[in-house]
Amino acid sequence: MKLLVFAGSTRQQSFNRRLARIAARMGRDAGAEVTLLELSDLDIPMYNADLEARGTPPDVIRLKEILDAHPAWIICSPEYNGSYTGLLKNTIDWASSPVAGHPVWTDVTRPFAGKVVGVLSASNGALGGLRSQSHLAPLLVNLGCWLAPRNYALARAASAFDAGDDLADEAQRQQVRAVVDQVLWAAQRLCA
C-alpha cells in the first residue's frame, strides 16, 4: 500500500512536521510504501484564477501526480486561529482545480475522490489542534475522500517529543499508530 504523509506547515520546528515524520515511520513499520511530502519542496503560488488561466504551474501538476499516486494519506494539520492553515487550504485549492485541456487533470474528482485520509494534528494548546480537524474534515469529504473515523490531536506538543524526535509517551504513540493502521486497513479494502 502506498501511503502519503504531509503536514500543513513549512516551519522548521513545526510540531506537525515532526508528527508527520513519526506517522511516516509508523507507516513504513506497518509495511507501507511511504512518501513523506514536504510542501516547501514545491513551488506553489497562492491560488489565483487569473494566474491559473495563464497556465497551471508545473509543481501543481507534480502535486496532483503525487496525491493521485497514493490511495492512502495522512494529513497533519496545524491549527491557526481555530482552523487549518492557509498553506493547507492553498494546497487543496490548487490540487482540486481542473487543468483545462490536460489529458488527465480535467477530471474534477482527481486526485481526491476515493482516497482514504487520516487526520492528525499537534498543538501546544489543550485541544491539540482538534478545531483544525473539525474544519478540515468536511472539506475533504466534499472532495470525495473517505475520511477515516479515527483521528488524533496531540495536545501540549511542546513537551510531547523526546530527544530522538519521537513521542515521549507510549499512549500517544499508540494513538498515532491507530490512525495510521486504520488508514492502511481501510485503503487496502476500499482501493483494492
Grid coordinates of 16: 506537525
How many Cα atoms are found within 13 Å in the side-chain-facing hemisphere of 120? 33
Which CATH number do you get for residue 177? 3.40.50.360
Range of the domain at 172: 2-190
Considering its fold, how many domains does the chain have in total?
A: 1
For residue 46, give the nearest of 2, 96, 87 by alpha carbon. Answer: 87
The CB-based long-range contact list for 51-56 (8 Å cut-off, 24+ gap) reads: 52/97, 56/94, 56/97, 56/99, 56/102, 56/105
Indicate the SS3 state at residue 93.
helix
For residue 186, give the nearest of 38, 68, 32, 35 by alpha carbon. Answer: 32
Per-residue pLDDT of the chain (192 residues; tens, 9 = 90+): 999 999 999 998 899 999 999 999 999 999 999 999 999 999 999 999 999 989 999 999 999 999 999 999 999 999 999 999 999 999 999 999 999 888 899 988 899 999 999 999 999 999 999 999 999 999 999 999 999 999 999 999 999 999 999 999 999 999 999 999 999 999 999 986
